[in-house]
Each structure stands twice: as structure tokens, then as C-alpha cells.
Amino acid sequence: MLPRALVALVLFPLIASPRAAAAQPAQAPDAAACIADHEAAQVENAAGRLREALRLSRSCALSTCPELVRGYCAKLTDEYARQVPTVSLRARDAGGCDTTDARVFVDGNLIAERLDGHALALDPGKRVVRVEVAGVEPEEQTIVATRGEQARTLRFGEARSSRCGAPPVAEPKPASPLPPPADQSDGLSTVTVAGIVVGSIGLAALATAGGLGIAGLTQRSDLEACKPCTQEEVDDVHRLFVVGDVFLAVGGAAAISSVVMLIVGSQSPSAGAPAASGRVSLRVGPLGGAVEGRFW
């Protein structure tokens, strides 16, 4: 506090000279108010209300106060400004981006309508800082503000930070069902079965061709004994040989196809590879026949 002698020194000229007081009616009240602010600032500081102490010390350091009082108050202002705790707040909106549109409460009292990037002064002690941002739930943090601790950063909504500027997340596509595992059993493959079937057809065709050939030879021997023979008897013998040739050709082709398919079917596919498959078709005409096969 100002020494009482100095207080008297400041006020005495105004009290002792009524004419001077009349000439400057506002001077005495200003001087008294400055001295009162100086003393009140120190009381508030002792009570731990540093923000109010800083406000009062700045008030009595104004140019309207007597020079002697201004000097004392300027020193107090420097001291309190170094000691008052301050915090810097960062808040994020519903999209996860930085925002200034946030209201700040300390211990339930509104101290800022929005954030402007400047630090906020607090009184020392335990404080509850609450930030309200439109579109999200309010958040609170409880801190202990310490004398001399300044520019402490408090972050609100950091859990939403990864959303800022991120593209919309695409819905995952359902995984395609895995194909059924290849049958690793010891059963015959499709090609092998087809080869057996075609081989059986070929054997039957060859047997039929042999039978028709024998019948044709027998009837041709009969024609030697019946000369001259009718044209119908000659045509019958000729027809037997033609049909026999057809079955012979079909049987030979079927036999060859059967051998090829049995060879292909006997080669087991590697693990995980699809089994070989194929298609066989038999065509028979009046002048011949053919067996067609395709494998893949």
C-alpha cells in the first residue's frame, strides 16, 4: 500500500488550497479513487482474485491519476500480469474442424461469447472450464490454475479432429463367397468317365461293323451260286457293306477319342486348380460317322 505520508502528500495540496480545488473540481475525487484502487488491488491479490487485482492496478495507473500513484500502480500491474494464470482454448465443431463459434464458461460464469485466439485470464485454484459448440455436446475440463502458469492450451473436441476435410467413408462391399474347395476325392474325373463311355460306344460300333461285314461276305457267296441274281439281291449285299463301313469308321473314331480322354483324365489336376472337363458328341450319317470331343 501507499505509505500514509505519501497519501497525505498527494491529497494535502487539494485540501489546503480551496481555491485550487475550486479551479480543478475533478482533481480531488480522481486522486482519492486512484489511491482506493491501489489499496483494493492489493487486497484482491491477497485473496487470490488476481484478475480483479490486475484490473484495479491498471485503473490507478491511468494518466488521470497523480504521478506518484501511477508509479506504484504500474509496478503492481507488471507484477500481477506476470502472475495471473492464462489458458488458450481450441475447440472443434461437429465436422472436426477448428471453430471460433464457442461459448466459454469458468465455474459456471460466462467469460467469452466466442473464441478469438487470445488467452483467457483465470484466478489461481481449481477451475471448471466448459465450452459449448453448436451441434455437439458441451465439454468440461477441470484444471488447477497456478500463479505464473500462462498460455496453457486446453483442447475441446479432439476426438472429432480426424473428420475435418476427410472424404465420406464408402460403405464396405460384402465379400464374395469363396468357391467350394475342389473335390480331392479319388473318384473318376468327368473326362475319364466320358472316355469310358465313348470307348464302350466304339467297341459296340466295331462289333456291329464286324457282324455286318461277316453277313455281307456270306450273302456275297450266295450271289456266286445264284448267277444271274436280281438287282435287289445285289443291292442288299452292297447295303450291308456300306453300313458296316459306317460302323467301322464310327467305332475307330470312338476308340481313338476314348484313348485320348483316358490319357487326359488320368492326369490329376494340381491342388486348388479346377478339374479338367470336356464334351463329346457322336454323329452318324448314311455315309459315315464321327466323334467330336472338346476339352478344357
User: How many residues comprise the chain?
Assistant: 296
Distance from C-alpha of 159 to C-alpha of 161, rounded to nearest angstrom? 6
Q: What is the pLDDT of residues 69-103, one digit of tens each?
A: 999 999 999 999 999 999 999 999 999 999 999 99
Q: Name the residue among 139, 147, 99 with its Cα closest to residue 122.
A: 147
Mean pLDDT of the chain: 79
Query: What confidence tier does 272 reach under pLDDT thresholds 50, 70, 90?
Result: very low
Query: What confidence tier does 29 reach under pLDDT thresholds 50, 70, 90?
Result: very low
Distance from C-alpha of 137 to C-alpha of 115, rounded to nearest angstrom? 17
Pick the CATH number of 86-160 from 3.40.50.20, 2.60.40.1120, 3.90.180.10, 3.40.50.720: 2.60.40.1120
**pLDDT > 80? residue 62:** yes
Tell me if 192 sits within 8 A of 265, measured CB to CB. yes
Instruction: To the nearest 10°, report the CA torsion of 47, 52, 54, 57.
Output: -90
Mean pLDDT on 234-255: 79
- Provide the grid cell at 246: 459306317
Which residues lie across from 143 on neighbouring strands?
A: 127
Q: What is the pLDDT of residue 192?
A: 78
Q: Name the residue among 217, 214, 271, 212 with its Cα closest to residue 242.
A: 212
Whole-angstrom CA distances from 216 to 65, 138, 247, 251 are: 147, 108, 14, 18
**pLDDT > 50? residue 5:** no
